[in-house]
Structure 1
Amino acid sequence: MGLIDTHAHLYSKQFNNDRPEILDRARKAGLDKILLPAIDSSTHEAMLELEEQNPDFCLSMMGLHPCSVNADFEKELKIIEDHFASRTFIAVGEIGLDFYWDLTFKEQQFNAFHRQIELALQYRVPIAIHSRNANDESIQVVREHQKGDLKGVFHCFSGTVEQAQQMIDLGFYLGIGGVLTFKNGGLDKVIEQIDLDHLVLETDAPYLAPIPFRGKRNESSYLTHVAQKLADLKQTSVQKIIEQTSLNAQNLFGL
């Protein structure tokens, strides 16, 4: 069993000049799968094309990123609904709440989040949650919908131990990426207290590259550095980290 990058935007324009090389490095680094979260209709075509070119390696989600929610978000939701009506996706994502950049469409973000959770329940697929400066609010939204069938991951987890436990109690996994390697980031202290059974690995490429690449463009092959850091924290082997986190990803996404 190899590594699974559960969240990477490899269809981003930042990879247009060397995408084949990026994918080749990921395979050579031991990755088995790369999961592609959607952003909005401006990038769906690129994402789906990447999946079509690499059907056994890259798997698409479908959803509306909270930073893309605006006054016309209903149009975007209709596009997402049409996509789900025409084919299967591994998850609804990435969806959620982002109160870091702009609160102009806060009400619409909540609306879109609720609607997309209902879509996930309808199609019996998990959700990938983007939650920035909004962990408590995102937890509450999930709690309102959790009747035993909702599952998913809090992508790029960056909360407290208490928030992590609430997410786990709701049946969700925590997505762990490059931030784990940041000095003085604090995430390592939290994850030390969380069992491996609740974690999946991700890069969020091209963002949040781990040390020693911090500040540079991230890519899926760098996931090995996250796995190594987690192994160090848990005082176990990298192989154990790979096996458990990939098993978690398989269970969550039905891989």
Structure 2
Amino acid sequence: MIITDTHTHLYSEAFSEDRDDMMSRAIKQGVKRFFIPAIDSSYTTAMLQLEKDYPEYVFLMTGLHPTSVKANYKDELKHVEDLLAKRDFYAIGEIGIDLYWDTSTLEIQKKAFKHQIQLAKKHKLPIVIHCREAFNEIFEVLEEEKSEDLFGIFHCFTGTLEQAHQALSYNMKLGIGGVVTFKNGKIDQFLNQIDLKHIVLETDSPYLAPVPYRGKRNESAYIIEVLEKLSLIYDTPKEVIAKITTENSKAIFNI
């Protein structure tokens, strides 16, 4: 059984003490594909080192996270463009809009999001969307940019069934992680109405650990808890869900 974690920050300082052990635990669980979203230029060196340390398993994205969209965002976008000119990446992400921490940057967040969508189209890459308290704003930008060459993953999907269908209408897969195991997560109540062909698995580690690890540091090995929950929701064997979601990830990332 090969499991794909489509969203994990393995370069995070949270793993600095036991990264090798953490990776070993995940690989033993069957996680053989780790897709690594970017945050900003301060993490580039660590991401490149991670790829060097685990070349068989690690696949890098580049992009500017919405919470890192500050006054210097144009310099950060230039950094993303420079990286794309130098080497290949598997996606532009994570990008989007986050209104939980700071609403004052909404306008520049929208500009950065739109610019990176256009970069993804130019390089024929998927986007990986971060959305926090910003569904309407995200959909507004996607509506402006929708086209045949717009596709990707709506990371950490936490919306309603209606919002799920709207996300799918923009050629997005839904990234399902630890939230599906939460009692108040709500997505478990309707997820079986979404065909598995639209679903990919993720952890967002070190964040959003699933039950029974909720509140603790998350890691990619815990994706098995997400897989087991989806097995119950879809009444489908874990091995089948792992296979389908890995194939879905291959369709997105082209590897």
Q: Shorter-chain-normalised TM-score: which range?
A: over 0.9
Question: Is 2:177 the counterpart of 1:177?
Answer: yes
CA distance in 2: counterparts of 1:31 and 1:108, whole angstroms? 36
Q: For the aligned residues, what is the CA RMSD?
A: 0.8
Q: Which residue of 1 aligns with 2:123?
A: 123
Q: Distance in 2 between the 1:116 and 1:155 partners?
A: 16
Gaps (5+ residues) in structure 2?
A: none
Say whether 1:60 aligns with 2:60: yes
Whole-angstrom distance in 2 between the partners of 1:136 and 1:194: 21
- Does the aligned pair in 2 maintain the 1:136–1:163 contact within 8 Å? no
After superposition, where does 1:1-255 map in structure 2 within 5 Å? 1-255=1-255
Distance 1:68 1:29 in 2: 33
> What is the distance in 1 between the residues matched to 2:169 and 2:98?
22
SS state at 1:192 partner: helix
In 2: Cα distance, 1:71 partner to 1:189 partner: 40
Q: 2:231–2:237: 8 Å Cα contact kept in structure 1?
A: yes
Deviation at 1:190, TM superposition (A): 2.6
Secondary structure at the aligned position of 2:204 is classed as coil
Distance 1:110 1:159 in 2: 20
For 1:34, the aligned partner's letter is: F
Shift in Å at residue 140 of structure 1? 2.1
Residue identity matched to 1:42:
S
Extract unaligned runs of 5+ from structure 1: none
The Cα of 1:197 is off from its aligned counterpart by 0.7
* Moved segments of 4+, more than 4 Å: none
Deviations along 1:110-141, whole A, 9 cap, x unmatched?
Answer: 00000000100010000000001111221221
Q: Secondary structure at the match of 2:193?
A: coil
Distance 1:171 1:140 in 2: 15
